[in-house]
């Protein structure tokens, strides 16, 4: 399983764009990149998933460079409710039944008024 490295914490202000970068130098050919969000006292919630280039949904964008050794989660115009822990996961759990879903330590994002 590819190891991921992301900042322990980040701070920003309401209305700003927040970019959280995750490094995964040992990503394998079959690995996908998935981001989850976790609020206090709740289970994680899926945000976005991608394999290469750029993926966008109603919540966020995911940028993946050609070498796929890193990825950036972009949250446009954050609000106080975006304060949460964000996890970057890398693995072939999309197609492989044998793969585990392993979480790292995550990035604790704090949004200020």
Partner 1 sequence: NAGVTQTPKFRVLKTGQSMTLLCAQDMNHEYMYWYRQDPGMGLRLIHYSVGEGTTAKGEVPDGYNVSRLKKQNFLLGLESAAPSQTSVYFCASKPDRSLSTNMNTEAFFGQGTRLTVV
Q: Tell me if 42 contacts partner 1 by CB under 8 A.
A: yes
**Binding window for partner 1 (CB under 8 A); candidates: 9-17, 19-27, 42-50, 60-68:** 42-50
SS3 (DSSP) at 100: coil
Smallest gap from Cβ 81 to partner 1, in A, equals 18
Distance CA(94)–CA(19), nearest Å, equals 24
In the bound state with partner 1, the residue whose beta carbon lies nearer, of 45 and 69, is 45
Q: Does 97 bind partner 1 (CB under 8 A)?
A: yes
Using an 8 Å Cβ cutoff, are 63 and 5 in contact?
no
Does 49 sit near partner 1 (CB under 8 A)? yes
Q: Which distant-in-sequence residues (6+ apart) come within 8 Å of 91 by Cβ?
A: 1, 2, 31, 32, 34, 99, 100, 101, 102
Binding site for partner 1 (CB under 8 A): 34, 36, 41-46, 49, 85, 87, 93-95, 97-98, 100-106
């Amino acid at each position: 399983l590819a190891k991921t490295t992301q900042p322990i914490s980040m701070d920003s202000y309401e209305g700003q764009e927040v970019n959280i970068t995750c490094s995964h130098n040992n990503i394998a050919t079959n690995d996908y990149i998935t981001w989850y969000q976790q609020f206090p006292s709740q289970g994680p919630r899926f945000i976005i998933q991608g394999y290469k280039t750029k993926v966008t949904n109603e919540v966020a964008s995911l940028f993946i460079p050609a070498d796929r050794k890193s990825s950036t989660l972009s949250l446009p115009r954050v609000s106080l409710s975006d304060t949460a822990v964000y996890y970057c996961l890398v693995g072939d759990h999309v197609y492989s039944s044998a793969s585990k879903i392993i979480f790292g330590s995550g990035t604790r994002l704090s949004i200020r008024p």
